[in-house]
A and B are shown apart, each in its own frame.
Chain A
Amino acid sequence: MPYHQKIFENLPFPCLLFEKRGENFIIKESNTLYCRVTNSNEEELKGKLIEQVFPQNSFSLGLNEIIESFKIAFKSQQPHKIDVLRYDLYDKENDSNLEKYWEIENIPLLDENHESEYILTVVKDISFEILESKRCEVLQYNLDTKTENHEEFIQRITDGLFSLDLDGNFMSLNKGLIDITETSESELLKMNFLPFCGQDYREFIVKKFNAAIGGKNQKFEAHFISGKGRKMVLEISLVPLKHNGIITGLYGIAKDISKLKESEIALSQSERKFKALVQQGSDLIGILDLEGKYKFVSETSNLVLGIKSEEFIGQTAFDFIHPEDKDRVKLQFSELEIKKQIEIQPFRFKNAKGEWRWIETKATNLANDPSVGGIVTNSRDVTEYINSQKAIKESEERYRSFFENSLDAIMVTIPKEGRILAASPSACKMFQRTEEELCLVERAELINPLDLRLAEALKLRSETGTANVELTFIRKDGSKFPGEITSSIFKDANGDLRSSMIIRDITERKATENNLLKLNKELENYTKELFAANEGLEQFSYIVSHNLRAPIANIIGIADLLENSNQPEEIQEVLLNEIFTNIGRLDDVMQDLNETLKLKADFSKKRESVNLESLIQNIIASNQNLIDNENVSIISDFSSIDAVYTVKSYLYSAFYNLISNSIKYRKPEFSPVIEIRTERQNDQVIIHFKDNGLGIDLEKKGDQIFGFYKRFHNHVEGKGLGLFMVKSQIEMLGGQIKVNSSLGQGTEFIIYLQYNE
């Protein structure tokens, strides 16, 4: 046996040797192992085709594949391998086919000429591996499916699942956590849990985290803040994550229980509220039996009445009620036998101090309700309200009395239109109308609508809300009276705008005021007179120094000359004459002084109506010679005022002096023309007295023209007394005199006198 045959025989793999014959490959040899594996013997196999040896059975799909492989290997002279080929073997014992998988390698064997001669087929039973790997595949499949399901579950669950490393950084997480934290996955994976901790809970949470890392499972509630700042309450479970017995991190579950907490809080609040209503409200709740005995009283009794709730139990409610109210309350209470609910009007109830409080009660019969089993009373202390109502009533009465009894007229009107809504009795008396009549009249029938003060008052009232003015009012009979009105805008109980009017008849006050005005005017006159007296004194000093001293000084001078020198006789005579002249001057001054004093003494002279025309005619007649000689024309026009109520002698003197002056100071080349006319201006009579004389330079002499002993001309005799007298007399009559003049332009005197009917 050649040694290569021995090698073949003992190869540790099942082998076959094929020889090509024509187009077919036939088995030439088979080794021991092959025969064992395939349950065959060498003789059976020798010289046969492969399909003859391995006929088609339940699972033999690869015969063609083998023949193809032979051909490829034979032709290419390279080994060709079939990785897996299934060929089930028949198991005689069990009469069934065994599932078998084979790895086949066909190796061409070459002859000396490098021509393919045989095919060595090496077969390897790989059934176990294949079957195992199949089983693994199934297992893998099952595993994959389960993992997917888990992952989906993990992703779909609304609770947040996560893992943390030992530093608290997120290692993995599910969608639930993304939703809860309102932070994206990528973001979270870069983060630590700390930023999500609620401000006041951080320390607490870190403590729990550390405990979990220490190996103890943790479960707690804490406040957290989402990535968008939403506050939430989370229930957190932390479980240590172990790897090879060492804690490498934590698994965690986060459950958002914010809503739960909110509703818990809301619930507890509403509970408290209800409790507060019953226990602490100002309402007093009680449960009584049908006899009126207390079974329950809310704690508010202490607050409202100062009596502790337990003290009421067993007591009869009626014993606390004021005797005057008791019967009424009892009667109403008994109605509860037929009525479900009653309202008891305020009655007096004794509190702990023995004071009477006004209580208002609503009672409901719940005797048939097993949970109550009595009359439920809901009471309220209305003492303050009752008292304020009383106060309002009292104040109303007070105002009513004020309204009824006031001496001033009181009216309520609608602002703007002025319609009267109410009028006091004194208003009716003042306007001589009944209240009904007053409510119907127009404003114009009571006040002159054109009175400017009315418009002003209305304007003031609309601007400031109140006005106080004097107006003239009209009575029913058309007569008028002065009144002081105070009017204010206010809102009535309905919020409508109203105005109050308080009118006081001030007829008497006006009369007093007028008297006062008169007195004032008189006082002014007295003051004027005083001033005049003072001026008189000044003038007296002037008179003394000039008009009295001058002639005296002259007399002294002459006497001295006569005494101390021998004057020629004719000079002596002249000097004697001078003495007499100067003595005469002295006498004149005395007489003039007497004249002015007489003027003051005559002040109280009687006034009368003086006809101006006849006064002028009198003056002309008395001075006819002078008038004729000087060819004086006097033109008078008294058409507007022909008479003045005054002291006749003063007016005569004034007119005479003015006429006399006009003649004295005439222009030499013209005949004097004097124009006299009157005019009326308000309550004044104005008398114009104009001449065509020399005129006076008022700029120089204006302040002196009416002065005592003031003279302005040399050419005619004058004492400087005329205009002084005129001014004094006019002023005595309560008038004034003014002058218009300039040199060469004539002079106009204007006399202002008070006009009296």
Chain B
Amino acid sequence: METFNYMVVDDDRTNNLICKLLIQKFDADAEIKLFLKPEEGLDYIENFVDKPTVLFLDVNMPTMSGWEFLDQFIAFKTEIKDKLHIYILTSAIQCFQKEKETYPFVKKILAKPLKMAYLMEIKNSFSKQL
């Protein structure tokens, strides 16, 4: 079975810690990258991602919002973009209808905190896709 890596981009340390511990518990072999600054996350994607990766992206960050992050991501090469499976992970309780239309490649918008059920669902959709 094809394996995949995980990335978390969020300025909230606690959330990143929760994600790391939960993913480790779900898949002990998975590679998990945590980024507090979205700029660094983008840099990593552009230069280092070489295998399918699930990205949990926060929306509300001081220097760059999740949407701004996606605006830059769109400009990347297709083979890089194809590797990323992006999920918005936010504490917001809005529905983000407009953003869903603007960024159709976003797989789903998930409400914090990250849960086992989300990870299961992601893994299932992943295998189906393959």
Stretch at the interface among B12-20, B43-51, B73-81: B12-20
CB distance from A95 to the nearest CB of B (A): 175
- Asked if A571 CB lies within 8 Å of chain B CBs, one says yes
Q: With A571-B21, A578-B17, A712-B62 as given contacts, are A557 and B93 in contact (CB-CB < 8 Å)?
A: no
Contact B113 A553 (CB under 8 A): yes
Across the interface, which residues of A come within 8 angstroms of B60, CB to CB?
546, 550
Q: 0/1 per residue, A171-214, Cβ < 8 Å to B?
A: 00000000000000000000000000000000000000000000
| A554 B14 Cβ-Cβ under 8 A | yes
Which residues in window 709-727 of A have CB below 8 A to B? Answer: 710-714, 718, 720
Q: Which of B98-130 contact A (CB under 8 A)?
A: 111-116
Measured between alpha carbons, how far is A713 from B63 in the docked complex, in Å? 6
Q: A556-B113, A578-B14 are in contact. Are A561 and B22 (CB under 8 A)?
A: yes
Chain A residues closer than 8 Å to B14, beta-carbon distance: 551, 554, 557-558, 578, 581-582
Per-residue CB proximity of B10-34 to A under 8 Å, as 1/0? 0111110110011001000000000
Q: How large is the interface on B (under 10, 10 to 19, 20 to 34, 35 or more residues)?
A: 20 to 34
A578-B17, A714-B36 given as contacts; is B12 within 8 A of A550 (CB)? yes
Give the residues in chain B near A546, CB-CB below 8 Å. Answer: 60, 91-92
CB neighbours (8 Å) of A549 from chain B are 91-93, 112
In the complex, which residue of chain B has the Cβ closest to the Cβ of A567? Answer: B21
- Which residues of B lie under 8 Å from residue A711 when comparing CB positions? 62
Chain A residues, Cβ within 8 Å of B94: 545
A574 within 8 A of B: yes
Secondary structure call for the B interface: loop
Classify chain A: how many residues form its interface, as a range.
20 to 34
With contacts A545-B91, A550-B91, A554-B12 known, is A561 near B112, CB below 8 A?
A: no
Q: Does A682 contact B (CB under 8 A)?
A: no
- B15, closest chain A residue (CB): A554
Q: Which residues of A contact B93 (CB under 8 A)?
A: 544-545, 549
Q: How far is the CB of A549 from chain B (nearest CB, A)?
A: 4
Is A594 engaged at the interface, CB distance under 8 Å to the other chain?
A: no
Residues from chain B with Cβ under 8 Å of A629 in the complex: none
Kindly provide the distance from the CB of B94 to the nearest chain A CB, expressed in whole angstroms: 6
Residue B83 is within 8 A (CB to CB) of chain A in the complex: no
A200 to B17, CA, bound (A): 130
B63→A712 contact, CB < 8 A:
yes
Q: Answer yes or no: A681 CB below 8 A from chain B CBs.
A: no
Give the complex CA separation of A553 and B115 in angstroms. Answer: 11
| Chain A residues closer than 8 Å to B17, beta-carbon distance | 574-575, 578
- Choose from B25, B62, B113 the contact partner of A557 (Cβ within 8 Å): B113
Q: Given A545-B94, A550-B112, are A561 and B62 also a contact pair (CB < 8 Å)?
A: no
Give A162 to B114 CA distance when docked, in angstroms. 143
A553 contacts B11, C-beta separation under 8 Å = no
Taking a contact as CB atoms closer than 8 A, the residue among A560, A564, A712 that contacts B113 in the complex is: A560
A sample of 29 inter-chain contacts (CB < 8 A) reads A545-B91, A545-B92, A545-B93, A545-B94, A546-B60, A549-B91, A549-B92, A549-B112, A550-B15, A550-B60, A552-B91, A553-B15, A553-B91, A553-B111, A554-B12, A554-B112, A556-B113, A558-B113, A561-B21, A565-B25, A571-B21, A574-B17, A581-B14, A582-B14, A710-B62, A713-B63, A714-B11, A718-B62, A720-B62
Q: Contacts A557-B113, A561-B22 known; list 20 others, CB within 8 Å.
A: A545-B94, A546-B91, A549-B112, A550-B15, A552-B91, A553-B91, A553-B112, A553-B113, A554-B14, A554-B18, A557-B14, A557-B112, A558-B14, A560-B115, A565-B25, A571-B21, A582-B14, A710-B62, A711-B62, A718-B62
